[in-house]
Amino acid sequence: MKNISVIGVGYVGLVTSTCFADLGNNVIALDINKERVANLKKGILPIYEPGLEEVVERNVEAGRLHFTSSYDEALRDAEFVFIAVGTPEKKDGGADLQYVESAVREIAKNMTRELIIINKSTVPVGTGDWVAETIKKYQSKDIPFSVVSCPEFLREGSAIADFTNPARTVLGSAKKSAAEKVAHLHLPLRAPIIITDLRTAEMIKYASNAFLATKISFINEVADICEALGADIKEVAVGMGYDPRIGKAFLDAGLGWGGSCFPKDVKALAYMAKQNQTHPQMLNSVMEINADRSNKVVDFLEDKLGDLSGKKIALLGLAFKPNTDDMREAVSIKLVDALSAKGAAVHGYDPVAQDVAAKLLPDLAIEKDAYSALDQANAVVIVTEWNEFKQLNLEKIKKLMISPVIFDGRNIYDPEQMARLGFAYKSIGR
Ligand code: UDX
């Protein structure tokens, strides 16, 4: 059992603190947002993540997981402190480090014993060195410390499984002994551990996310070529994926990638490249391909319905992907903007993200289920592939809609069946 402190109880911080507590450690999670901390103490979570609530509750009850807003309390006994605060995107595409900086200053001021400071937030290459300098600058006493980079690779929607069963743990540090101590915390996860220097660990995170985004933009570009040449992208992806050099994952063509990580991380890597006089040609294309994806929807709807003014368009799925209520950089935002600008009445349904969507998209009429969204609609767009959309009663849908026009942006239906049922159906790359 180790004493661990985690700064920030957003997505990464809450999962990290909860899962380390579940491994038997004593964890204090800190957030400067007092309301968030008060809610967590009552068992109210700031995010939706399947399965997380039970694990939080179990560890709070067992006395291994505590929440606070006080750095003094969080650092009193800590041997390890994880920084898991947000690094949002700045206007110029770089990462905004203001939250990391204030966390680091507070750690420096409040540390009372030797500490290993571990960065989980996705931060520009070189930040680990800057953290070390900042701690030295703001420390009131000369207490020894080490900085370790331990990038987080978990995905929203499967965060607990990703934490407990990682593909690898990457640890970077100037002090190998510190990285080894952090490695020890991860041993129960039985995953390969890579120990390297700080900058390399930081780069592994950006390169991994950029590579995954590249894989998706690649398959999306090939999907367009398939469409033009009469091939089926789903089968092309299966045929490619059996090659272990390519792999099956992240070859689902669709309306593009969104979320809290890929858009900001690809942009930040391109920004770092430019700042350092290299030309991120590939990254620029990856972003350009992604930015174009949602135009396909508007083109298709105009082709089928003509002028969209006054037409009811239903969006099924609003979150950036299934099993989350996260709307950050979701394709649905672009679609609501583009369709509203054309005068369409845009209605939407999402099993979980409806409250977030209501706040974010005043032009969108939120519906209570898929069938009410479709009722009297001129067209429907499948935006997010929630499982419940895969089993909808298609004959009922056809009767409910004014015109049976479907843009399946995530390839969840079978084109032959849709043609048989008499839908004007379009999917991606088939
Ligand atoms: C991602 C990384 O996977 C994770 O390792 C990192 O820690 C954070 O960023 P996340 O943003 O939760 O995780 O979502 P992910 O499942 O990776 O999907 C990202 C986007 O790509 C989504 O918009 C998803 O719809 C899209 N996607 C994913 C595709 O369009 N096709 C695919 O084949 C896979």
Q: Residue 85: name the closest of 104, 68, 106, 99 by CA.
A: 99
Confidence of residue 343 (pLDDT cuts 50, 70, 90): very high
Does residue 209 surpass a pLDDT of 90?
A: yes
Burial class (CB in 10 A: 0-12, 13-18, 19+), 120: buried
Cα separations (Å) of 11 from 1, 52, 254, 393? Answer: 24, 11, 25, 35
Distance CA 82, CA 120 (A): 6
Q: Is the CB of 254 under 6 A from ligand 1?
A: yes
What does the pLDDT read at residue 64? Answer: 98
Ligand 1 pocket member 286 (CB < 6 A) = no
| Confidence at 241, pLDDT banded by 50, 70, 90 | very high
Span 8-32, pLDDT tens digits:
999 999 999 999 999 999 999 999 9
* pLDDT per position as a tens digit, 50-88: 999 999 999 999 999 999 999 999 999 999 999 999 999
Q: How confident is the model at residue 95 (pLDDT cuts 50, 70, 90)?
A: confident
Q: How many CB atoms lie within 10 A of CB 2?
A: 16
Checking if the pLDDT of 258 tops 90, the result is yes
Ligand 1, residues 47, 48, 155, 386: which to mutate, most atoms within 8 A of Cβ? 155
DSSP, collapsed to helix, strand or coil, labels residue 81 as strand
Kindly report, residue by residue over 131-187, the tens digit of the pLDDT: 999 999 999 899 999 999 999 999 999 999 999 999 999 999 999 999 999 999 999
Ligand 1 atom nearest to 385, measured from its CA: 25
Q: Which of 240, 262, 289 to mutate to test the pocket of ligand 1 (most atoms within 8 A of CB)?
A: 262
Residue 89 scores a pLDDT above 90 = no
Distance 259 CA to ligand 1 centre (A): 7
pTM above 0.85, yes or no: yes
As given in the structure block, the two tokens for residue 255 are 């309306």
155 Cα: distance to centroid of ligand 1 (angstroms): 7
Decide if 149 contacts 171 (C-beta within 8 A): yes
CA of 138 to the centre of ligand 1 (A): 37
Test site for ligand 1: of 214, 233, 321, 427, most ligand atoms within 8 A of the Cβ = 321
